[in-house]
Chains A and B, each alone.
Chain A
């Protein structure tokens, strides 16, 4: 696999996805997707809209229940009925396109509610942790702000801090910058790039090609519910094998001017 070339197979596999299928009514969104994610690896998933990229992320932490197929987090089978899904989800960060910060809580409380109510952490300790994580995303001065008082970029950074405060094994990003004004995208990408460089394991659904080029160990091109092509940024951007990949990348480049 291409991932092995970029990252010669030494790190343990954190997440294993095998042959996932998911339909909504007649719409067969995922038609057998498999992938392995090693510790510290960043994979960027691209592809036309309606291809099942978001569904794939949601099926990984069971926010959508896949119709068939398996997901493992380390040795634990996520898709098994015996598994306590809440314990799994606590270890998988999820960053939403629309942020979904808790509207009635300040930035600080948004970040510390997970460690406190799920992790059972004491208030003082959780507060310290939340401060640290907010500092990490550059929002130390916004701890007392409510979501509505923050810009989209700031909200998304709080939501990244909220995910980080759970000490996740990996973080799933579902189009984290698609809902942002162009001038706010940079600050979010900056945080994500520094996470990737710090060795966070992540799957990112995004069309930010600059980001993909900078940090992706592997790019996955999905279309119509299957992985059409995957490889390092160089392989995919410079010499894509599939014609569909070429066409898609050309469109994206026209759009984003790269």
Chain B
């Protein structure tokens, strides 16, 4: 469940974050402004508060009772999209302006230039900061336990009384350490996979280091 939720969140964030970033860089002023408000809103509110808004808040005030999983997905996914939009915005802006100029000088429309020139470069630049987002989203899923999503953390809490009765109170710490290790391993595995992707897409002279040297 934790893995599923993480993937769902990152997917939602990615799907919304990319267009948001491009809108923020290339959009007309009202579009940019709207994106800015969205981004500031979702980055400025604690994750737990967001989750409660999308679950209890909506249910109590508007009688819209979303399933716990959907609430968590929505709250944390939108939040992640705001964070990811900033990662991608930075990456897009790190692509030198000459790239856009050269693409336009060949007769590419803005959209084509973005698709064939800016995007492939920005994507590569965004992988390293994106691993950060992956790590924090993975661990934020534990907050979904607060509204009853049965993910790793909730399962652990549910198992606590049983463990205590069967093995004694000391074993609670062992249980929690075991859970911590699971999170650690998941984070490490994800980062390893992203590192692998980064290397696969590596182009000579395109790493950040190379860009500074030139």
* Contact surface of A with B, Cβ cutoff 8 Å: 61, 63, 86-94, 96, 98, 100-104, 113-114, 117-118, 146-149, 159, 162, 166
Q: Are B106 and A166 in contact (CB under 8 A)?
A: yes
Chain B residues in 8 Å Cβ range of A100: 96, 98-99, 101-102
Report the Cα distance A63→B113, complex, angstroms. Answer: 14
Check B214 against A102 for contact (C-beta < 8 Å): no
In the assembled complex, the CB of A255 is this many whole angstroms from the nearest CB of chain B, namely 26
A148 touches B112 (CB 8 A): no
A117, B112: Cβ atoms closer than 8 Å: yes
Q: Which residues of A contact B206 (CB under 8 A)?
A: 103-104, 146, 148
Classify the secondary structure of B's interface with A.
helix
Which residues of chain A have C-beta atoms less than 8 A from B203's C-beta?
103-104, 146
Q: B116 an interface residue at 8 Å Cβ cutoff?
A: yes
Binds A, one of B25-33, B62-70, B117-125, B135-143: B117-125
Cross-chain contact B98 with A90 (CB below 8 angstroms)? no
Partner of B108, one of A86, A96, A103, A146: A86
* Complex Cα spacing A197 to B15, Å: 52
B residues near A (Cβ < 8 Å) are 96, 98-99, 101-109, 112, 116-117, 120-121, 124, 203-206, 210, 214
CA distance A92 to B101 in the complex (A): 13
- B-chain residues with CB within 8 Å of residue A63 when the two chains form the complex: 101, 104-105
Tell whether, in the assembled complex, residue A102 and residue B102 are in contact, meaning their CB atoms are under 8 Å apart. Answer: yes
Looking at the assembled complex, report how far the CB atom of B112 sits from the nearest CB atom of chain A, in whole angstroms: 6
Check A61 against B105 for contact (C-beta < 8 Å). yes
Nearest Cβ distance between residue B74 and chain A, in whole angstroms? Answer: 35
Distance in angstroms from B101 CB to nearest chain A CB is: 6
Chain A residues with Cβ below 8 Å from B102 are 94, 96, 100-102, 159
Chain B residues lying within 8 Å of A114, measured Cβ to Cβ, are 106-108
In the complex, what's the smallest C-beta–C-beta distance from A175 to chain B, in angstroms? 13
Bound Cα distance from A31 to B15, whole angstroms:
48
Alpha-carbon gap, A70 to B1, bound state (A): 64
Contact of B98 with A86 in the complex, beta carbons under 8 Å: no
Are B116 and A117 in contact (CB-based, < 8 A)?
Answer: yes
What CA separation (Å) do A91 and B98 show in the bound complex? Answer: 19
Closest residue of B by beta carbon distance from A103: B206
A102 contacts across to B, CB distance below 8 A: 99, 102-103, 117
**Contact (A118, B108) CB under 8 Å given A146-B203, A146-B204:** yes
